[in-house]
Amino acid sequence: MATQRVTAEVPQERPTQSSRHGRQGSLFRKYVLVFAALIGIALLASALVESYLSYQRIRTEVGTAQRREAGVVADKIGQFVGEVEDQIAWALVPVWATGP
């Protein structure tokens, strides 16, 4: 009787070039995504801070301009009221001028 030799091929667990590339690509992709997210968050935070500071500056400038305009208008109203008072004073007849 002849003995037959049976050989079983055991696959070796050696990473192939494509699987190593896949894991490295995946890690690289994760680093890129994290880096892009950090940059995006930093840019968003910067934009929010800049918007807030710009809003505050514009609000201050508008308030200053409104106060300046209010002062000018108040002076004009004061002049108008003074002119009306002068006209009323000229229109009134003094009590001493009418006689006893």
- In a domain, residue 2? The reply is no
pLDDT band at residue 11 using 50, 70 and 90 as cut-offs = low
- In a domain, residue 37? The reply is yes
Alpha-carbon span 82 to 72, nearest angstrom: 15
- In a domain, residue 41? The reply is yes
Please tell me the predicted confidence (pLDDT) of residue 13. Answer: 58
Tell me the average pLDDT of the chain: 84
- In a domain, residue 43? The reply is yes
Q: What is the pTM of this model?
A: 0.52
Please tell me the predicted confidence (pLDDT) of residue 23. Answer: 63
Mean pLDDT of 17-30: 70
- In a domain, residue 3? The reply is no
Name which residue leads in pLDDT, 22 or 95. Answer: 95
- In a domain, residue 13? The reply is no
Q: What does the H/E/C string look like for 27-72?
A: HHHHHHHHHHHHHHHHHHHHHHHHHHHHHHHHHHHHHHHHHHHHHH
Domain limits for position 37: 23-91
70-79 core/surface letters (b: 16 or more CB in 10 A; e: else): eeeeeeeeee
For the chain, how many structural domains are there in total? 1
Please tell me the predicted confidence (pLDDT) of residue 90. Answer: 84
- In a domain, residue 1? The reply is no
> What distance separates the 2 farthest-apart alpha carbons in the chain?
166
- In a domain, residue 4? The reply is no
